[in-house]
């Protein structure tokens, strides 16, 4: 019964709107003037940044190489790790020669740390207990969850302290 009443009310509103728009059009009134109009916003034109066009020098351009371009050698060391340097060590063959713009930001490693062998030392002799992973719907404010978070933070702090000690030792050896 209620559905039928709502349907009848909606139909009466549609018929009344149609009659009013018909009468308005007979009198020369355009009802579209009462409807809101949407104008697309004028967006600024954007240009994407472009990378500088850096080309490796040819045999004719060796003397004309601009100062902005630098050559880097890439080779694999004895331990299997990749090394990058401006000067290729004797006895090594370069896997790749890379040309890049020297005005770009490149973070250098600590000098003298190339030949340092990193070993992992155990900080605590206690065996690490595997803590159960909390359920997905666990309360993030429960005591158990907060304790796990604090223990994880302590573990990360121990790792960071260990890495800091290794870096300090490397700096002191120089």
* 129 pLDDT above the threshold of 70: no
Q: Label residue 41 by pLDDT band (50, 70, 90).
A: confident
Residue pair 100/72 in contact by the 8 Å Cβ criterion: yes
Query: Does some domain include residue 136?
Result: yes
Query: Does some domain include residue 86?
Result: no
Q: Label residue 136 by pLDDT band (50, 70, 90).
A: low
Q: Which tokens sit at 167? A: 């870096």
Query: Does some domain include residue 89?
Result: no
Q: Which tokens sit at 52? A: 């500088």
CB under 8 Å to 138, separation ≥6 — which residues?
Answer: 144, 145
Q: What is the pLDDT of residue 7?
A: 94
Q: Label residue 146 by pLDDT band (50, 70, 90).
A: confident
Q: What is the pLDDT of residue 121?
A: 52
Distance, CA of 33 to CA of 115 (rounded, Å): 80
Residue pair 85/74 in contact by the 8 Å Cβ criterion: no
Query: Does some domain include residue 88?
Result: no
Residue pair 21/31 in contact by the 8 Å Cβ criterion: yes
Q: Which residues pair with 75 in a beta bridge?
A: 83
Query: Does some domain include residue 92?
Result: no
Range of the domain at 16: 2-28
Smallest CA-to-CA distance from 119 within 169, 166, 168 is with: 166
Query: Does some domain include residue 83?
Result: no
Query: Does some domain include residue 65?
Result: no
Q: What is the pLDDT of residue 59?
A: 63
Burial degree of 52 (CB within 10 A; 0-12, 13-18, 19+): exposed
Query: Does some domain include residue 158?
Result: yes
| Number of domains the chain contains | 2
């Amino acid at each position: 019964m209620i559905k039928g009443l709502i349907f009848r009310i909606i139909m009466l509103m549609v018929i009344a709107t149609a009659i009013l728009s018909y009468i308005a059009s007979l009198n020369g009134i355009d009802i579209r003037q009462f409807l809101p109009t949407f104008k697309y916003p004028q967006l600024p034109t954007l240009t994407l940044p472009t990378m500088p066009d850096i080309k490796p020098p040819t045999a004719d351009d060796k003397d004309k190489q601009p100062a902005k371009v630098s050559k880097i050698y890439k080779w694999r060391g004895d331990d299997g790790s990749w090394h990058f340097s401006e000067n290729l060590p004797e006895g090594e063959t370069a896997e790749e020669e890379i040309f890049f713009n020297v005005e770009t930001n490149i973070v250098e490693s600590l000098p003298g740390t190339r030949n340092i062998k990193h070993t992992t030392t155990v900080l605590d002799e206690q065996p690490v207990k595997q803590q159960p992973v909390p359920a997905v719907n666990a309360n993030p404010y429960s005591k158990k969850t907060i304790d796990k978070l604090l223990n994880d933070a302590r573990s990360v702090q121990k790792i960071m302290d260990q890495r800091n000690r290794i870096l300090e030792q490397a700096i002191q050896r120089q």
